[in-house]
């Protein structure tokens, strides 16, 4: 009888297929495992309560995938939610001054617009404006909590720099000397979009069922693991200081219409 000697080395590609038969490839697959288990029933007896009989039942399966890919569509397939995609824009943009806190909404009348002096320095960020007195404000950059202007005195209809690091100024109006202390407002600055802009909202939309295929080519041998029906239950999204962020994903399996959890093909 021949001895089967087939070692497994590497993983090349993993693809997901959604309910509309759209195919999405994960080229950065670093680890892929198919875990198949049975529940075990034991019959015990005797003085030492030894196992007298064992039966297995209730198959279950789980796929684990390790990848470093940061992709909105992959996150949406695994966790659910909604993706909003925007096109490119040749220039940086700003939003209007909007009230965050306060009843008189005095800041939008005192600070009327935002000016971008150096588009190359712009980063997408929010800025909070706090009224310290009738003619004084503090401006805080939200991404790092820096008070880019800790105590800025305003005069009417004047252009004033608020973030010298990123070349951002504000234009004041007639109400710049009639602010209400402790009120807050904000504005957003977004840099020019050169290739695409997507936002994923993890909302009440649930993740749908997927099919999965993992492929490895080792010399003249090709191996595939096929998962007919998988139900994703979430993912972990994050970032790591000065390191590539690698995440481990777990996806549960369902029995397909053919009565199988998965199949494996080896071609030489």
Q: What is the pLDDT of residues 214-234, one digit of tens each?
A: 999 988 888 999 999 999 888
Q: b/e per residue, 23-40, with b = 16+ CB within 10 A?
A: eeebeebbebebeeeeee
Using alpha carbons, select from 250, 258, 259 the residue that is nearest to residue 35.
250
**Which contacts qualify for 16-25: CB closer than 8 Å, 24 or more apart?**
16/74, 16/77, 16/210, 16/211, 16/212, 17/210, 17/211, 17/212, 17/213, 18/77, 18/208, 18/210, 19/208, 19/209, 24/73, 24/74, 24/77
pLDDT on residue 146: 95
pLDDT on residue 112: 94
d(CA 152, CA 169): 12
What mean pLDDT, rounded, does the chain reach?
91
- Whether the pLDDT of residue 259 is over 80: the answer is yes
3-state secondary structure of 51: strand
- Whether the pLDDT of residue 240 is over 70: the answer is yes
- Whether the pLDDT of residue 24 is over 60: the answer is yes
- Whether the pLDDT of residue 7 is over 80: the answer is no
pTM reported for the whole predicted model: 0.77
- Whether the pLDDT of residue 3 is over 70: the answer is no
d(CA 251, CA 169): 49
Residues 6+ positions from 123 with CB-CB distance below 8 Å: 143, 166, 189, 191
- Whether the pLDDT of residue 86 is over 90: the answer is no
CB 64 within 8 A of CB 33: yes
CB 173 within 8 A of CB 156: yes
Confidence of residue 267 (pLDDT cuts 50, 70, 90): confident
In the chain, where the domains are located: 20-83+201-267, 93-195
d(CA 213, CA 220): 19
Give CA separation, 92 vs 54, 146, 183, 193, 194, in Å. Answer: 68, 21, 27, 8, 10
Confidence of residue 1 (pLDDT cuts 50, 70, 90): low
pLDDT tens across 149-191, in order?
Answer: 999 999 999 999 999 999 999 999 999 999 999 999 999 999 8
Confidence of residue 4 (pLDDT cuts 50, 70, 90): low
What does the block give as tokens for 206? 């649930």
What is the pLDDT averaged over residues 18-29?
89
pLDDT on residue 235: 86
d(CA 184, CA 132): 10
What is the pLDDT averaged over residues 68-83?
89
**44-48, 56-60, 175-179, 216-220 — which is least confidently predicted?**
216-220
CATH code for the part of the protein at 20-83+201-267: 2.30.110
Confidence of residue 34 (pLDDT cuts 50, 70, 90): very high
What is the pLDDT averaged over residues 127-138?
97
């Amino acid at each position: 009888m021949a001895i089967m000697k087939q070692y497994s080395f590497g993983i090349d590609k993993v693809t997901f297929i959604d309910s509309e038969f759209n195919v999405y490839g994960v080229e950065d697959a670093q680890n892929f495992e198919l875990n198949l288990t049975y529940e075990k029933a034991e019959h015990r007896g005797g003085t030492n309560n030894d196992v007298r009989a064992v039966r297995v039942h209730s198959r279950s399966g789980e796929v684990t995938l390790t990848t470093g890919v940061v992709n909105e569509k992959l996150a949406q397939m695994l966790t659910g939610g909604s993706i909003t995609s925007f096109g490119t824009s040749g220039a940086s943009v700003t939003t209007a001054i909007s009230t965050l806190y306060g009843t008189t909404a005095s800041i939008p009348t005192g600070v009327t617009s935002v000016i971008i002096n150096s588009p190359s320095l712009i980063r997408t960020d929010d800025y909070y404006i706090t009224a310290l007195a009738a003619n004084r404000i503090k401006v805080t950059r939200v991404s790092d909590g820096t008070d880019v202007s800790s105590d800025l005195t305003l005069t009417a209809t004047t252009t004033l720099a608020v973030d010298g690091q990123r070349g951002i100024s504000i234009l004041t109006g007639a109400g710049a000397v009639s602010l209400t202390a402790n009120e807050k407002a904000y504005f957003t600055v977004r840099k020019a979009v050169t290739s695409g802009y997507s936002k994923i909202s993890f909302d009440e939309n649930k993740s749908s069922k997927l099919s999965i295929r993992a492929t490895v080519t080792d010399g003249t041998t090709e191996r595939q693991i096929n998962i007919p029906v998988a139900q994703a239950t979430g993912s972990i999204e994050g970032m790591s200081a000065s390191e590539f962020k690698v995440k481990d994903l777990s996806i549960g399996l369902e029995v397909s219409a053919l009565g199988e959890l998965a199949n494996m093909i080896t071609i030489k």
